[in-house]
């Protein structure tokens, strides 16, 4: 159901509020670049600092701006199962194609609790759900055996895998049904994950270089490994620079350098440091992205 390149979209702000015109322009740019989908309100979209109404408005704008030309998978995760259900239902009503839900963070549920969480959301919403496994942010890892249990749940159709562990990714792909979409959440591991049998990527880098990231995924999927490998190594310095500070600090700074959004981020995140801004500028110029 969800395959190819999806962009984990930033949320632009102006004067402390959502910059709706900039958001619409970002969506249009992604569509024009040929991505397969966009993911508003994920980690890259600063979902943790969006008020509930802002969160829902971002999803509504993304759906409106996409106009059915690309899929919209709304970030609707929470460590509160009832809140996750509410956000998912609202994304469904807004016209999204599916939802991405981070594994519950901070409260550190057991593996059984993780399964129960997703099962409750799936049962309540009857909506296509992507699991989001990112232990570095949640303080808990979804084990491959648990992922196989999740893959058996009706409406749970795939996972954004950001564990950074290719052995674990291999075990997930081996244990889950073929139709269960395993998507890379680590840009530098997108090509290796595709080689293991993954279906695509949910990318931060594609905010800045959507056409190139899309071509990387498409080249691999059509069997042109040499082209995919060349793009991987071309983009690797950018992928590295975009994670020189906590995501999405660098990617928002890069988009600001490109003149696409204002350089505004919400506390407790702070603007990129001057040395790292210069590093981004150099990499963007070298790739002719500035």
Q: Is 233 a catalytic residue?
A: no
Catalytic residue from among 108, 160, 233, 285: 160
- For residues 166 and 193, is the Cβ–Cβ distance under 8 A? yes
List of residues 6+ apart from 21 with CB closer than 8 A: none
DSSP, collapsed to helix, strand or coil, labels residue 187 as helix
Q: How far apart are CA 109 and CA 117, in angstroms?
A: 9
Packing angle, helices 20-33 and 52-66, rounded to 10: 40
- Consecutive H or E run containing 234: helix 225-241
- For residues 185 and 200, is the Cβ–Cβ distance under 8 A? no
- Consecutive H or E run containing 279: helix 274-286
Catalytic residue from among 132, 233, 252, 285: 132
Q: Is 160 a catalytic residue?
A: yes
Q: How far apart are CA 49 and CA 272, in angstroms?
A: 18
Q: How far apart are CA 161 and CA 241, in angstroms?
A: 21
- Consecutive H or E run containing 257: helix 249-257
Catalytic residue set: 132, 160
């Amino acid at each position: 159901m969800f395959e190819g390149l999806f962009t984990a979209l930033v949320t632009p702000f102006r004067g402390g509020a959502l910059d709706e015109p900039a958001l619409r322009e970002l969506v249009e740019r992604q569509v024009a670049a040929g991505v397969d989908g966009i993911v508003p309100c994920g980690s890259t979209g600063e979902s943790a600092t969006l008020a509930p109404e802002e969160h829902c408005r971002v999803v509504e704008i993304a759906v409106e701006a996409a106009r059915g030309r690309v899929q919209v998978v709304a970030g609707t995760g929470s460590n509160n199962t009832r809140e996750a259900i509410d956000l998912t239902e609202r994304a469904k009503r807004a016209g999204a194609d599916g939802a991405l839900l981070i594994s519950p963070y901070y409260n550190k549920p057991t593996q059984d609790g993780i399964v129960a969480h997703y099962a409750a959301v799936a049962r309540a919403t009857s909506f296509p759900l992507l699991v989001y496994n990112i232990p570095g942010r949640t303080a808990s890892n979804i084990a491959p055996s648990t992922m196989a249990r999740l893959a058996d749940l009706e409406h749970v159709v795939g996972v954004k895998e950001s564990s950074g562990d290719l052995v674990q990714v291999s075990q997930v792909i081996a244990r889950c049904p073929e139709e269960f979409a395993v998507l890379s959440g680590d840009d530098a591991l997108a090509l290796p994950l595709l080689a293991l049998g993954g279906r695509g990527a949910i990318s931060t880098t594609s905010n800045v270089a959507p056409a190139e990231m899309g071509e990387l995924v498409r080249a691999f999927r059509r069997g042109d490994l040499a082209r995919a490998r060349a793009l991987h190594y071309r983009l690797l310095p950018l992928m590295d620079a975009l994670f020189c500070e906590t995501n999405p600090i660098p990617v928002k700074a890069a988009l600001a350098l490109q003149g696409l959004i204002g350089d505004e981020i919400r506390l407790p995140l702070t603007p990129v440091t001057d040395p790292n801004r210069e590093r981004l500028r150099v990499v963007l110029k070298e790739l002719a992205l500035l």
